[in-house]
């Protein structure tokens, strides 16, 4: 052991810069294939993802169905307070604030990911984050009884912070507990749960279930259920072994955690890889925010991460989902049929995300991103044309429905899920928390821009608003083709060495 440690510094620097790092040894490749999905790993994935990304998706979609009910309640409440009839524009402004402040909270939560991940760990951060869910339920659940719409705004802000933190912590934890050959599929689980939770929020928001004037506070409070699930399950799972070894220097704890996750004590090869990374991390100073922007080997993947996060939110998915019910009404579907068709789109989103979970390890990340964005570009151009004629042409209206469904299919193929875990794949352990903070904050900022800017643009441009999204999709397709590397089945060291060898400037 002593001889091995003496040579480690020089050897690790040699390994870190050698061009042959791109070709993993046959032994490692063989070992990778032996690590399958076992019951314990599946339990850890469910505990981390269900309790975190469910908050993200559910609270994104839950406000859509009861919008009119809550607006009427705000109007009556404001009128009773002041004794003066409340203008519709004032109610719309309050409601817009309640909806959009969720994204503001997300930006703040996203920017705190790095600090929370380093200070409390990935698992610890996820567990502590549930305090914000409890506070949200107290505020939102008591708002109607307390006759205070301000409490809904505070609750939406708190759950936004929670969702922003979850969007960074959960994919980071999932990436670090996964074997290399399952990393993409496990990373996709985060987006899968988001799509499922949006669909659940749409179903529960139906008038026949909880979408009533009496029941909407309960609809908002159901966000506590996934938090309870996580608090009951995640404590039984280990902290990320990579975090334990590389951040805390706890070798034995890391090995125990890895053995638990793999369901075997035969984890020697994977531990040796982590120890090599640990030794190399000790040779370099801790990565700061400034270092991310100054060091080219960190700046380039950071730029790629930021662009991919912008690409996801500026793809037009939120606009298409918002427009879907209106498009279905244009096709002469009645109100209930249009709502059911919108839920059908949500179900298609879930189905395609499940399919992408399989495809991501076969086709690769870059291929699925290219297929998704290039397909959305063609789809969006056709959708803009069809919407122009939808009022007068029944055929154009029906074709619009097909294009909406096709758009969701293409988005779910890659652009929906890959950005969440790609950031974790592009950075080493020391840089990952800071880089994730920036990327998640950018994602929520872009989400906020779309949610604030879409309606005014749509009022001015009508169906032609989709041309803006088509131009952006074309730009992002070209960017992905030129700049984004394929990370399928590559270790962090192999990915880092790609940035050292190739020019991504």
Q: Both 46 and 183 in a single domain?
A: yes
State the CATH number of the domain containing residue 471: 1.20.1250.20
Alpha carbon distance 329, 349 (integer Å)? 20
Integer Cα distance of 12 and 16 in angstroms: 6
Q: Do 314 and 208 share a domain, yes or no? A: no
Residue 281 in any domain: the answer is no
- Note down the domain range covering 105: 36-237
For residues 300 and 190, membership in a common domain is answered with: no
Residue whose C-alpha is closest to residue 453's, from 96, 120, 160, 199: 96
pLDDT at 238: 97
CA distances from 281 to 179, 229, 249, 384, 453 (A): 20, 35, 11, 51, 43
Distance CA 198, CA 219 (A): 13
Q: Is residue 259 part of a domain?
A: no
Decide if 405 is inside a domain: yes
Q: Note whether residue 97 is domain-resident.
A: yes
Q: Are 73 and 217 in contact (CB under 8 A)?
A: no
Q: Residues 223, 333: one domain?
A: no
Domain assignment present for 313:
yes
From CA 206, how far away is CA 336, in angstroms rounded? Answer: 10
Answer with the one of 210, 237, 264 that is the final residue of a domain. 237
Q: Are 325 and 220 members of one domain?
A: no
Question: How far apart (Å, rounded) are the C-alpha atoms in residues 60 and 13?
Answer: 46
Q: Report how far residue 51's alpha carbon sits from residue 134's, in angstroms, rounded to the nearest whole number.
A: 13
* CA-derived radius of gyration, the chain: 24
Query: 358 and 462 share a domain?
Result: yes
What whole-number distance in Å separates Cα of residue 133 and Cα of residue 16? 42
Residue 267 covered by a domain: no
Q: Hunting for tokens 């609750």 — which residue is that?
A: 155
Is there a single domain that holds both residue 182 and residue 303?
no
Helices (H), 390-502: 394-413, 418-426, 432-461, 465-483, 492-501
Give helix 149-177 / helix 88-120 axis angle, nearest 10°: 30
- Of the candidates 222, 237, 252, which is a domain's last residue? 237
- Identify whether the C-beta of residue 188 lies closer than 8 Å to the C-beta of residue 417: yes
Residue 254 near residue 245 (C-beta atoms within 8 A): yes
Question: If you ran DSSP here, which 8-state letter would residue 244 be given?
Answer: I
Write down the residue that tokens 């999905």 correspond to: 37
Tell me how many domains the chain contains. Answer: 2
Q: Does residue 407 sit in the same domain as residue 467?
A: yes
Whether residue 18 lies inside any domain: the answer is no
Same domain? For 47 and 190 the reply is: yes
CA 20 to chain centroid = 33
Residues 229 and 329 in one domain: no
Q: 96: how many CB neighbours lie within 10 A of its CB?
A: 13
pTM of the model: 0.86
What parts of the chain have a pLDDT lower than 50?
A: 1-34, 503-505
Q: What is the pLDDT of residue 232?
A: 97
Query: 197 and 314 share a domain?
Result: no
Between the alpha carbon of residue 25 and those of residues 31, 114, 286, 435, the distances in Å are 10, 33, 29, 29
Cβ within 8 Å of residue 456, ≥6 positions away: none
Is 331 in the same domain as 475?
yes
Long-range pairs, 340-348, Cβ under 8 A, ≥24: 341/401, 342/202, 343/199, 343/202, 343/203, 344/405, 345/321, 345/404, 345/405, 345/408, 346/195, 346/198, 346/199, 346/202, 347/199, 348/405, 348/408, 348/409, 348/412
In a domain, 436, yes or no: yes
Q: Of 121, 22, 491, nearest to 274 (Cα)?
A: 491
Q: What pLDDT, on the 0 to 100 scale, is given for residue 502?
A: 54
């Amino acid at each position: 052991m002593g001889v091995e440690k003496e040579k480690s510094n020089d050897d690790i620097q040699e390994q870190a810069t050698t061009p042959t790092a791109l070709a993993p040894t046959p032994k490692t490749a063989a070992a990778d294939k032996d690590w399958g999905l076992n019951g314990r790993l599946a339990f850890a994935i469910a505990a981390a993802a269900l309790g975190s990304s469910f908050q993200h998706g559910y609270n994104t979609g839950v406000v859509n169905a009861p919008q009119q009910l809550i607006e009427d309640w705000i109007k009556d409440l404001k009128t009773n307070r002041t004794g003066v009839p409340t203008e519709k524009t004032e109610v719309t402004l309050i409601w817009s604030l309640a909806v959009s402040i969720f994204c503001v909270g997300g930006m703040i939560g996203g920017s705190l990911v790095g600090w929370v991940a380093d200070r409390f760990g990935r698992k610890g951060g996820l567990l502590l984050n549930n305090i914000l869910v409890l506070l949200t339920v107290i505020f939102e659940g008591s708002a109607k009884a307390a006759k205070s719409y301000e409490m809904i705004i505070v609750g939406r802000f708190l759950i936004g912070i929670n969702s922003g933190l979850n969007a960074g912590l959960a994919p980071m934890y999932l990436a670090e507990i996964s074997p290399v050959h399952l990393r993409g599929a496990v990373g996709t689980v985060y987006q899968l749960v988001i799509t499922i939770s949006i669909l659940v929020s749409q179903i529960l928001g139906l008038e026949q279930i909880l979408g009533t004037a009496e029941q909407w506070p309960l609809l908002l409070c159901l966000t506590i259920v996934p938090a309870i699930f996580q608090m009951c399950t995640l404590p039984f799972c280990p902290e990320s072994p990579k975090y334990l070894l590389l951040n805390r220097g706890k070798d034995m704890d890391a090995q125990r955690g890895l053995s638990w996750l793999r369901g075997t004590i035969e984890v020697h090869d994977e531990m040796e890889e982590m120890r090599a990374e640990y030794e190399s991390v000790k040779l370099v100073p801790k990565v700061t925010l400034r270092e991310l922007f100054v060091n080219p080997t960190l700046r380039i993947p950071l730029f790629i991460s930021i662009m991919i996060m912008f690409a996801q939110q500026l793809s037009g998915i939120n606009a298409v989902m918002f427009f879907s019910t209106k498009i279905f009404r244009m096709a002469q579907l009645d109100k209930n049929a249009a709502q059911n068709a919108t839920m059908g789109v949500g179900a298609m989103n879930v189905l395609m995300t499940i399919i992408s979970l399989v495809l991501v390890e076969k086709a690769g990340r870059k291929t699925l991103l290219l297929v998704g964005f290039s397909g959305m570009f063609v789809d969006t151009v056709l959708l803009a044309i069809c919407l122009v004629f939808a009022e007068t042409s029944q055929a154009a209206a029906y074709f619009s429905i097909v294009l909406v469904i096709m758009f969701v299919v293409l988005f779910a193929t890659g652009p929906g899920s890959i950005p969440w875990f790609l950031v974790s794949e592009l950075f080493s352990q020391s840089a990952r928390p800071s880089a994730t903070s920036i990327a998640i904050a950018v994602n929520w900022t872009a989400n906020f821009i779309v949610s604030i800017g879409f309606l005014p643009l749509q009022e001015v441009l009508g169906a032609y608003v989709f041309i803006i999204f088509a131009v952006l999709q074309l730009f992002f397709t070209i960017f992905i083709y030129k700049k984004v590397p394929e990370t399928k089945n590559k270790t962090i060291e192999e990915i880092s060495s790609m940035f050292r060898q190739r020019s991504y400037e």
